[in-house]
Structure 1
Amino acid sequence: MTAIGRVTQLTVRNSTLGNLQANLHKMSQLQTQMSSGVKINRASDDPSGTADVLKIQGDQKLLAQYDRNAADGEAWLVTVDSALTTSLANLRKVRDLTVQGGNGALGSTSREALAQEISGLKDALLAQANTSYLGRPVFAGTVAAPAFGAGDDPAGAYDYKGVDGATVTRTVASGTTVRVDSDGAAVFGTGDESVFALLDGIVATLRAGGDPSDQLDAVDDRLDAMTTELSSVGARQNQVDSAQSLIAENTITAKTRLGAIQDVDLAQIILDLQSQEVAYQGALGAAAKVLQPTLLEFLR
């Protein structure tokens, strides 16, 4: 014979109230999801999903940092590119003036005019060599001081102030670092071997009545150095541009992944909530029939 457990009114009441409470809790969860727009409001809502959300949010923060790095690197490289382009134009003009200075028929007045123009271009080149971005010289590496001293600098005329091998870089992706500054010593030379000292020599030759044409090869060497560095800067700009495009794509992908895990289907939530409300009302009706009336209600 199978034993039948005794079911008391208290057992029925506790079971009914427990079911009603669970139903009400589910309604509360659905209402919270509908008002917040996300499925996971607490880690306990979906532990596995919470771990995925935290991972994706960490990736988003990293992508945002890469994006800031790339934007800053792009600004550095644009500044370097502009300075080099201007310097190339000035030095090409110096070359043309030097060729003119080789004309033995020029008088002293004409030679002085050429000397003054070349001297002015030298000052412009020095200013470009000391170009800075946000207070940081773009041709001096990690040094905060101007890349080159003036011609009358007691510490060394036109000496390069940067540190060899010290470069400014920006990380634009995992394992991808791009140099965003330029080696001023390689581009402009340093001290007596600098382009500035070279132009001073051309000016002195013109004023002395000599032929500066023999210094054209040295001018060409500096033009080649600037052109080479300008090409390098262009390649690095392309690298940063590619990184920015990839960052934008990955950012969209991360947002899509996060939405798939976290965002609610509003239409489905509304339908589930309505179904839960119907179930709750039905449970209340059933509970009213099952639970025994109180003594007071019985006396009525």
Structure 2
Amino acid sequence: MRITQSMLSERFLADYQAALRRIARAEEQLATGRKVVRPSDDPVIALRALRTESLLRDVAQFRRNADYARSFLDAQERSLAEGEDLLKRVRELLVQGANTALSAEARDAVASELRAVREQFAAVANTNLGGRYVFSGEATTEPAYGPSGLLDIPPAQRPLVAALSPGVSLPLGVTAVELFRPAPGGEDLFRFLERAEDVIRTGGDVGAVLGDFEAFEDNWLRRHTYVGSLQNRLELMASRLESQAVSGEKLLSETADTDLAEAVTRLTTAQNVYQAALGVGARILLPSLADFLR
């Protein structure tokens, strides 16, 4: 087979273009810090990197959810602790009110303090976090307690939930209905305090009221313990998400990030090959005397 000048020139131009592409790719890798700048560079690595990036985006969203859940549960826990102190004061006042030797004036003073405690419980029920009422369930824009009593619509009976991984959610604490009403459909704490106030003011049987009060104490303690258990679960899930984020970042770096030393070496090699190709090409493309004599 006869090798013509045209064939040599075409081969040189092909090698020349390939050398330029290698230089361009090495420069892109150095500039971006990525092994794969576009999917066509390496479809397998590109797909693996895309999947890892998608996973990291999901994990980042779950971590944001966990941060909000932590703030939400912390707000509930603080209010529950405040409520326990108020319940202790209620018991003290009921015990005082049960003293049959109290004068009418003293009974009025105890009843008035019970009313003040009831107002403090209203503030607890309406604990607000960034414009959202934490005890209003899904109805976070509505106060849990108002002039007509507890917010007792279906959304307010369902706690918010936070998605913390695919298919896994965490309830965000308790609702005011659960917290202030021990028995479904029964008397709530606000109605109870109104009744206790009237009984004390009129000199009625406070002993019976004290017996009813135990259900509210027990329910509050149970709900407080439940919120504490949710906080513990949340911290475990948040720790797992943090580990997933670290592992995902490491995997993405190993998959997609270029080794700078290797990239510099590849660029230097590509530039050397390119310069050599130019030297060879210059000799190939120079017309010889024989070419003119043909």
User: TM (normalized to structure 1)?
Assistant: 0.88
**Considering only aligned residues, what root-mean-square deviation do their CA atoms show, in Å?**
2.1
The match for 1:43 is 39
Deviation string 1:46-81 (CA, Å, 9 cap, x unpaired) is: 111111111111111111111121122222212221
Shift of 1:110: 2.1
The match for 1:220 is 214
Question: Secondary structure of the equivalent of 1:140?
Answer: coil
> Is the 8 Å Cα contact of residues 76 and 180 (structure 1) preserved in structure 2?
yes
Deviation string 1:226-261 (CA, Å, 9 cap, x unpaired) is: 110111111111111111111111111111111111
Once residues 59 and 159 of structure 1 are traced to their aligned partners in structure 2, the CA distance between those partners, rounded to angstroms, is: 42
Number of residues of Structure 1 aligned to a counterpart in Structure 2: 286
Counterpart among 19, 22, 25 of residue 29 in structure 1: 25
Once residues 96 and 165 of structure 1 are traced to their aligned partners in structure 2, the CA distance between those partners, rounded to angstroms, is: 31
Equivalent residues in 2 for 1:212-251, closer than 5 Å? 212-251=206-245
The match for 1:167 is 159
> Is the 8 Å Cα contact of residues 36 and 46 (structure 2) preserved in structure 1?
yes
The match for 2:99 is 103
The match for 2:178 is 186
> Is the 8 Å Cα contact of residues 23 and 280 (structure 1) preserved in structure 2?
yes
Once residues 162 and 245 of structure 1 are traced to their aligned partners in structure 2, the CA distance between those partners, rounded to angstroms, is: 35
Counterpart among 135, 149, 153 of residue 131 in structure 2: 135
Once residues 28 and 160 of structure 1 are traced to their aligned partners in structure 2, the CA distance between those partners, rounded to angstroms, is: 66
Question: Secondary structure of the equivalent of 2:164?
Answer: strand
Give the counterpart letter for 1:149 in structure 2.
Answer: G
Structure 1 segments of 4 or more deviating over 4 A? none
Once residues 279 and 83 of structure 1 are traced to their aligned partners in structure 2, the CA distance between those partners, rounded to angstroms, is: 72
Once residues 236 and 80 of structure 1 are traced to their aligned partners in structure 2, the CA distance between those partners, rounded to angstroms, is: 11
Shift of 1:294: 6.7
Shift of 1:271: 1.6
Identity %: 29
User: Is 2:142 the counterpart of 1:145?
Assistant: yes
User: Is 2:52 the counterpart of 1:61?
Assistant: no
Shift of 1:192: 7.0
Query: Aligned in 2, Cα 1:227/1:275: closer, same or farther, shift over 3 Å?
Result: same
User: Is 2:250 the counterpart of 1:256?
Assistant: yes
> Is the 8 Å Cα contact of residues 101 and 211 (structure 1) preserved in structure 2?
no
User: TM (normalized to structure 2)?
Assistant: 0.90
User: Is 2:122 the counterpart of 1:126?
Assistant: yes
User: Is 2:274 the counterpart of 1:280?
Assistant: yes
Once residues 140 and 290 of structure 1 are traced to their aligned partners in structure 2, the CA distance between those partners, rounded to angstroms, is: 84
Question: Secondary structure of the equivalent of 2:84?
Answer: helix
Give the counterpart letter for 1:119 in structure 2.
Answer: R
Which moves more between the two structures, 270-279 or 254-263? Answer: 270-279
Give the counterpart letter for 2:208 in structure 1.
Answer: D
Question: Secondary structure of the equivalent of 2:146?
Answer: coil
Once residues 8 and 111 of structure 1 are traced to their aligned partners in structure 2, the CA distance between those partners, rounded to angstroms, is: 119
Question: Secondary structure of the equivalent of 1:146?
Answer: coil
